[in-house]
Chain A
Amino acid sequence: MNRQQALFEYLLRLGDNALILGQRLTEWIGHAPALEEEMGSANIALDLIGQARGWLAYAGTVEGAGRDEDDLAFQRDVMNFRNVLLVEQPNGHYGDTIARQYLFDAFHYPLLTALSACTDQSIAGIAAKASKEAAYHRRRSAEWVIRLGDGTAESHAKLQQSFDTLWPYTGELFALDEVDHTLRRTGVAADLTAVRREWHEHVTRTLAGATLVPPQEGWMQSGGKQGRHSEQLGYVLAEMQFLPRAYRDARW
């Protein structure tokens, strides 16, 4: 794998994480549990999809095959997506959505902060912008984890179950492969060991504040970053990609 290929893969991972989680959040529009949460979900989705646009536009430039951000978002098949499995997991009940969001936000913020100092100026620019937004995302989702975990007996039990279910998807966030190793040598990829340290510290503190028990460490799922996805992603893409695939000339 040469540097250009690694950079393209790396940018797809960043872009696809933001795009797929953003798309998942838009599924709440019209039936979130409260109007404020509907606006919150929609606004976070907007931030994430805006970030995805930046990453995927740059990925298209790096690839040099004439694909723009829309081509990459709407014309790729499941196996060519590089998002982590966590973000494609279904919305479930609102506690499931909050747990998924928090586990991702607690990773996303330190990752973007680290990338703000990247030697690649385009990555640094997008990351510096996005990290400001991710700081607010993390604050909101952490508050909800505490509110629901330390809420009623029912909300506590449900949220504990959400974290237990999603926990096996967190290992992949920090798994290193050839893409990371190739880019680490030139100071492009973030140091995921440091990101993991901050993630772990923040998650431990938040779960304690929420009176939740940190799930047992065990088997971790992986594969999303290499294009091996759960069955969930196909359904997300079917909805997201239908219109631009059915009507190739469709324009806003």
Chain B
Amino acid sequence: MPAGSNTQRPLEVTPAQVQAWLEAVADPEIPVLSIADLGILRDVLCRDGELVVVITPTYSGCPAMHAIEQAIGAELRRHGVEHFHVHTRLAPAWSSDWITAAGRRKLLDYGIAPPAQSASGRREPPDGEPRVACPRCGSAQTTRISEFGSTACKAFYRCGDCLEPFDYFKCI
């Protein structure tokens, strides 16, 4: 997403500063989380005088990626940065392990059960079903209702104790 005029001015901000601004950009699907909490924001760097923001999609078809690119652009322009490029990096593939500890807490407070195990140590789904605790009452008596919830990154569960349905952020 190149933007701005043809005259290339020297970069007037540091990548660290930009990183700090972008940490406030909310995920459009789960607005309590920032793109940094989710691990979508991978890097901010300066290449040949141009600011490059590197993001990695959570899922191949995640419809939020376009909105995230636009939100990054809006945030940068708000701070007067006109010359930048948002680069989508596929490899290494995004993992739910990249969600920060703060991100996991925010998910839980929002009513979404965070990933119940590490994706790297996870066994392949057919055999390694994790126990998912209810984000409302903490009960472990939960049942998966559907492999896919409101978005591809979530499954749909129901609590056997408080009887409330809830979303579970899948381990991937």
Q: Which residues of A contact B (CB under 8 A)?
A: 36-37, 39-40, 42-51, 53-54, 121, 124-126, 128-130, 132-133, 135-136, 138-140, 142-143
Contacts and interface: CB of A to CB of B under 8 A. Distances in A.
Contact of A135 (B59, B125, B156): B125
Given A48-B61, A51-B61, A142-B126, A132 B93 contact: yes
A136 B172 contact: yes
Contacts of B14: none
A39 B148 contact: yes
Contacts of B148: 36, 39-40, 42-44, 136, 140
Given A135-B125, A136-B147, A128 B61 contact: no
16 contacts: A37-B146, A44-B152, A46-B62, A46-B63, A47-B61, A50-B61, A53-B61, A125-B90, A125-B93, A129-B94, A132-B93, A132-B172, A133-B59, A135-B124, A136-B125, A140-B148
Given A124-B91, A125-B93, A133-B59, A139 B126 contact: yes
Nearest to A34: B146
A9 B149 CA distance: 35
Contacts of B156: 36, 39
A39 B150 contact: yes
Given A125-B91, A129-B94, A39 B146 contact: yes
Main SS at interface, chain A: helix
Interface size class of B (residues with CB under 8 A): 20 to 34
Contacts, number: 82
B60 A136 contact: no
Contacts of B147: 40, 136, 139-140, 143
A51 B146 contact: no
A186 B63 CA distance: 35
Contacts of B119: 132
Given A43-B148, A43-B151, A139-B126, A130 B60 contact: yes
Interface string B117-156: 0010000111000000000000000000111111110001
A139 B125 contact: yes
B59 A136 contact: no
B31 interface: no
Contact of A121 (B60, B91, B125, B172): B91
B151 to A, nearest CB: 7
Contact of A54 (B63, B90, B124, B150): B90
Given A46-B62, A51-B60, 12 more contacts: A39-B150, A46-B61, A47-B59, A50-B61, A51-B61, A54-B90, A125-B90, A126-B60, A133-B172, A139-B126, A140-B147, A140-B148
Contact of B60 (A36, A40, A129, A139): A129
B83 interface: no
